[in-house]
Structure 1
Amino acid sequence: MSHVWSDEIDEISRRKQLAELLGGEDKIRRQHEAGRSTVRERITDLLDADSFEEIGGMAGFATYAEDGSTVAVMPANFLFGLGEIDGRRVALGADDFTIRGGAADASIMAKQVDSERLAGALRVPLVRLVEGTGGGGSVRMIEDAGYTYVPANPGWDALVDNLSLVPVVAACMGPVAGLGAGRVAMSHFSVLIEGISQMFVAGPPVVKHATGENLTKEELGGADVHRRSGAIDRIVPDEKAALQAVRDFLSYLPSSVHGLPPVVEAVAPATGAEGLADVVPRNRRQPYRLRTILDAIFDGGSNFEYAGYGASVYTGLARLDGHPVGVVATDPYKGATMTPNGADALTRLIDLCETFHLPIVSLTDQAGMMIGLQAEKSASIRRGARAVVAAYQARVPMAEIIVRRVFGVGGAGQINRHRFNRQWAWPSGDWGSLPVEGGVEAAYRADLEASDDPEALMADIHQRLEAARSPFRTAERYGVADLIDPRRSREVLTRWVRDAYRVIPEQVGPPSFGTRP
């Protein structure tokens, strides 16, 4: 049956079909041969079934015949729209590498800008699936345009605003450079796929010309580079794991700063509490397994590592009686001190929790900031001080269980010790301005030199100090709020988190300071 607008209606359908072809069969085949899915396949894998509502799907570059009819349309290489993840609304923007490698000379930049505006306007999380440069395109654009310009990152006012408004997740789905790398960095959580993704400010040809370094993409910006660089939060083995990490991360957060984190039904811990009575060895130099503590305290299956580059400083998200919380701890198998990278990871987690109203649990075992020449070259004290400032600026409720050590500036500032926070300590607690083992010979040098039996005197000094450093002595002076049986840790924290969630509705809204990447 013919209608007044039948021709135009048919043209809408035809153009949508052309957009579905992406860069064509050859480019799609090359994408698959490289071990990567196409942009539309990724969207299908990430979002709930049939929930994607594409915006601007017909935008592109058309070729017309002399009579004005459309010969062909090359779609813009950026897709965006709305969808759902586990029934919750999200905005999504994704690069199409099959068209000009995701470069801007096959893009319509207004689509990318509007993906940011969409998330901010509707106050929904934003997912960026990044692959390509997403920036100024090739040098040939200068000749084609006939002029050049003073750069301004398109839409970055919206990118900056979104960091303090909605959760933003970025996944490197292939090679990412230039403005694309900037879009990854401008997020609350970033993912890179081992062996598939690389991220760099400029690619190998530009680097070789500028610095003389002859590197492959993997050598310049692969997983081994970013495992500890601080630019990427999570390294994953494949695309499936990358998309799952996106879904998991968003499950802990509200849709925007104007909502509360989603509370779900509580799940029993993965392991029982009995092992907590033995997890910390009496030998202070002997490490223990942090995972044993996490699995016995938090809801089963809810422990999510956040900034994976933190070395000894563990940062994560978890659920406690169904309530999302941020978690700070130390992994003794990776060290005892706060490294500069660890300080950055701690700052990042605290800022995330402050922005999206997650209470923070500190499982404190902190021997202080890293020392030595390399630490000084890495600005250990300044980066550590920034982490302390983040803890003091945050308004969200905090609770602390002292598992073992609290020493130095790093230990003193892991949470804000100048406001009321719930605090408990295990009998393995050990604290002070500095560890006793490192200062006995200096403090008692004159006595030891004058003694007829320095070894016996040293043993006597250690015995006296051991008695004085007992956590029970500290508790007697109310230097620590409470000593508890480690097996009660989940019990006391569960009561605390319910109290915390009665307080945080008063803090709903923008964070106390603008969130930075």
Structure 2
Amino acid sequence: MSWQKEVDEIARRRKIAEDLGGAEAVERQHAAGRFTVRERIAKLADPGSFREMGAMAGKGTYDAKHNLVSVRPSNAVIGTIKIDGRKVSVDGDDWTIRGGSSEATVSEKWIYAENYALEMRLPLVRLVESAGGSVRLLEQQASTKIPGYPTWLMASMLGYIPVVGLALGPCAGLGALKAACAHFSVMVKGTSQVFAGGPPVVERGMGVKVDKEELGGSHIHTRESGVIGNEAETEEEAFDMVRKFLSYLPSSVFEAPPVIDCDDPRDRREEELLSIIPRERRRVYKPRRLIELVMDKGSVFEMTRHYGRSVVTCFARLDGRPVGVIANDPMFYGGGLTRAAAEKMEAFIDLCDTFHLPVVNFVDQPGTVVGPEAERMGTVKGSVRVVSAIEQSQVPWCAIIVRRLYGLAGTTYGRLQGINLHYAWPSARWGSIPVSGGVEAAYRKELEALSPEERAERLAELEEMYDHLESPFLTAERFKVPDIIDPRETRALLNDWLDDAWRLLPEQLGVKSRTIRI
């Protein structure tokens, strides 16, 4: 006698699970412009690589003879997939069943997928679309519960494996937490929203009537709050971002970042770099173009572009080796450090340090942004936290000072302890405050006693004198900057540095003394 009957039952139950919440619920999901959880997994995964776990979990109904009448599947779909040949753990919410409610499912199921990723040292991808908790659960349990999931190692896993949160529809309560508590997070414009409580909760609790998009759309969280990093136009674009993000990172902190073949010459010289920084100090330039000219062609992947916009953070490669890249963007606040930019920079430094990506910092820092609003936002505290993140990091670091370096935020250019490796372009200038404005303040009494014509002449003399004193060559004469370089040599220099830096990575593999700060 065989077990064919039971094997047939396995197939039957898996078919029920594959049907999700039924044809009508799937149709409503598609009408809302969103894929189902199983379609999402299929689009993200290498073809045929999904190995599902817990397909038979759910709530079964039986007749008097214990025959299965129906099953409402769990609204969590979990398992492992491969992305570009590398295994990844995935857990996805099924909106077609009870709106993906976190309390309408078997909570142990999605937690199992996350703990599996942690124990097996696999990257984790969350496909989030959840209405959060539901009071209907009280009818079933006849009691309430204290919030939280003791078996969910939410925070500690961030120090071990790459975690990705994709907000692919409404994400409330726990859904918002799962999307945001990640190294890399993405929202889809127009079809996903993230909030602690949805519009009905806000209206009842605060008397404010808003729709889902006004409350927690991508324009809010990728530009104003910083809760989510990237914005995608479509779900397919979001999946592509996930593939690119993971391609730079190891599967866990116990491995080195992946290296790919590269045919871009290590010593490529770009003539454009010689004039990319304008001589006129009030003119701006495009920092992303600078990064593209130095890094491997086509290798730049930017994160959190629309938040903290005076700082650019991205992954890139040098001779096929992944690095983290930071640059100031003079098009926003002159590149000055705002509280938002400080938060963005701090999180990125922690990310690179956790997963052993050496950091290249292209510095054009005019200082911490000043003014009443900046003080209310605690911008000084933001600068302090960035300095702390840099000093606590262990990953190799190299700064290229391309233009300005002033004030409190000027100390965020690199790790001051140790060798403090940094180079300057001829366009670099630094000091406690810029000459412009500083001269007028220092010589105010003298200047006020002069006629307008005399004042202008004297001010020009003073600025010329101090401009000479700001020359990077004078600093180099005292070996207070290791070297001044031809901008066209930057790529070759960084590749030589990375040869040395890469040799240090094996001894840094493993868990840091602290987990990452999100």
Normalising by structure 2, we get a TM-score of 0.96
Equivalent in the alignment of 2:105: 107
The unaligned stretches of length 5 or more in structure 2 are: none
Shift of 1:451: 4.2
Residue number among 295, 315, 327 corresponding to 2:292 in the alignment: 295
Shift of 1:454: 1.7
Equivalent in the alignment of 2:478: 477
Shift of 1:105: 4.0
Equivalent in the alignment of 2:342: 343
Instruction: Describe the superposition over 1:244-282 as per-residue Cα deviations: whole angstroms up to 9, x where unpaired.
Output: 111110111100000000011125389961100111100
Shift of 1:145: 2.2
SS in 2 for 1:488: helix
Matched, 1:186 2:181: yes
Equivalent in the alignment of 2:41: 43
Equivalent in the alignment of 1:516: 517
8 Å Cα contact 1:403-1:428 kept in structure 2: yes
Equivalents in 2 of 1:378, 1:77: separation in Å?
Answer: 41
RMSD, matched Cα: 1.5
Equivalents in 1 of 2:91, 2:329: separation in Å?
Answer: 36
Change (3 A) 1:166 1:108: same
Shift of 1:422: 2.6
Instruction: Describe the superposition over 1:189-211 as per-residue Cα deviations: whole angstroms up to 9, x where unpaired.
Output: 10001001100010000011111
Shift of 1:213: 1.2
Flag as ranges the 4+ runs of structure 1 deviating above 3 A. 153-156, 269-272, 449-452
Instruction: Describe the superposition over 1:370-405 as per-residue Cα deviations: whole angstroms up to 9, x where unpaired.
Output: 110111111101122111100000011000110101
Equivalents in 1 of 2:93, 2:150: separation in Å?
Answer: 15
Equivalent in the alignment of 1:393: 392
Residue number among 111, 114, 117 corresponding to 1:119 in the alignment: 117
Equivalents in 2 of 1:104, 1:450: separation in Å?
Answer: 72
Equivalents in 2 of 1:145, 1:355: separation in Å?
Answer: 41
Instruction: Describe the superposition over 1:206-249 as per-residue Cα deviations: whole angstroms up to 9, x where unpaired.
Output: 01111111000000000111122111110111101100111110
Matched, 1:165 2:160: yes
Equivalents in 1 of 2:465, 2:413: separation in Å?
Answer: 29
Shift of 1:421: 3.4
Equivalent in the alignment of 1:283: 280
8 Å Cα contact 2:401-2:425 kept in structure 1: yes
Equivalents in 2 of 1:450, 1:38: separation in Å?
Answer: 75
8 Å Cα contact 1:397-1:500 kept in structure 2: yes
Change (3 A) 1:287 1:26: same
SS in 1 for 2:154: helix
Equivalents in 1 of 2:437, 2:458: separation in Å?
Answer: 17
Shift of 1:470: 1.1
Matched, 1:152 2:148: yes
Alignment of 1:357-372 (within 5 A): 357-372=356-371
Matched, 1:176 2:174: no
8 Å Cα contact 1:113-1:154 kept in structure 2: no
Equivalents in 1 of 2:151, 2:96: separation in Å?
Answer: 24
Equivalent in the alignment of 1:416: 415
8 Å Cα contact 2:269-2:489 kept in structure 1: no
Normalising by structure 1, we get a TM-score of 0.97
Equivalents in 1 of 2:287, 2:221: separation in Å?
Answer: 23
Equivalent in the alignment of 1:264: 260
8 Å Cα contact 2:102-2:175 kept in structure 1: no
8 Å Cα contact 2:188-2:231 kept in structure 1: yes
Q: Number of matched residues?
A: 512
SS in 2 for 1:40: helix
8 Å Cα contact 1:393-1:512 kept in structure 2: no
8 Å Cα contact 1:425-1:483 kept in structure 2: yes
8 Å Cα contact 1:269-1:298 kept in structure 2: no
Equivalents in 1 of 2:103, 2:283: separation in Å?
Answer: 57
Shift of 1:478: 1.2
Matched, 1:16 2:14: yes
SS in 2 for 1:262: coil
SS in 1 for 2:405: strand
8 Å Cα contact 2:222-2:304 kept in structure 1: no
The unaligned stretches of length 5 or more in structure 1 are: none
SS in 2 for 1:172: strand
Shift of 1:301: 1.5
Identity rate, percent? 46
Instruction: Describe the superposition over 1:162-186 as per-residue Cα deviations: whole angstroms up to 9, x where unpaired.
Output: 1011000010011101011111121
Equivalents in 1 of 2:517, 2:412: separation in Å?
Answer: 20
Matched, 1:206 2:201: yes
Matched, 1:446 2:445: yes
8 Å Cα contact 2:269-2:491 kept in structure 1: no
